[in-house]
Amino acid sequence: MVGRVSRPPEHPGLPSEVEAVVELPRGTLVKRRANGTVDFVSPLPCPYNYGSIPGLEGGDGDAQDALVLGPRLARGARVRLPVRAVVGFVDAGRIDDKLVLSSRPLTAVDRRAIALFFDAYALFKRALNGVRGEAGPTCSEGLRVTG
């Protein structure tokens, strides 16, 4: 872990189930911003569907980020699933946690794979933030299972 960020209490009042909108289908290489412009091109395909929770604000002020486990879903797909875990994540000094959604409880393999993915993602984002001149720590703070 690199640096420390002062955190508020861990997700008070987090709903047990939420509706997510898929922005990046599983296997995607190109991450786009909300306005459709390219944010970055990943060196590896994302192993999860990635999206956000409309109406639920994340620590960075944007819609709360979410990982949707399971088969590849189409961009724009809406799914309502239980929140199974929270990945503590800090991006350039801003809290940017990710909710993990799944139709089934997480296995030990799921938990380890998600933790490893975000450890690697933090390294990539730290380098990208350096190129972009964004200061502050970027790190994964681990996975907390919620259900």
Per-residue pLDDT tens digits for 87-108:
999 999 999 999 999 999 999 9
Sequence-distant (≥ 6) Cβ neighbours of residue 96 within 8 angstroms: 58, 59, 60, 65, 89, 90
Between 3.90.80.10, 3.90.245.10, 3.40.50.2300, 3.40.50.1820, what CATH number should domain 17-145 receive?
3.90.80.10
Mean pLDDT of 38-62: 86
Per-residue pLDDT tens digits for 51-94: 999 998 888 888 899 999 999 999 999 999 999 999 999 999 99
Indicate the pLDDT class of residue 1, thresholds 50, 70 and 90. very low
CB 42 within 8 A of CB 74: no
CB 137 within 8 A of CB 90: yes
pLDDT at 129 over 70: yes
CA angle, 128 as apex, 47 and 56 as ends, to 5°?
60
Q: Determine the Cα–Cα distance for residues 11 and 23; give it in Å rounded to an integer.
A: 23
Indicate the pLDDT class of residue 2, thresholds 50, 70 and 90. very low
How does DSSP classify residue 44? S
Mean pLDDT of the chain: 87
Q: Of the candidates 44, 106, 95, 42, which has an alpha carbon nearest to the alpha carbon of residue 69?
A: 106
Domain ranges for the chain, please list them: 17-145
pTM of the model: 0.87
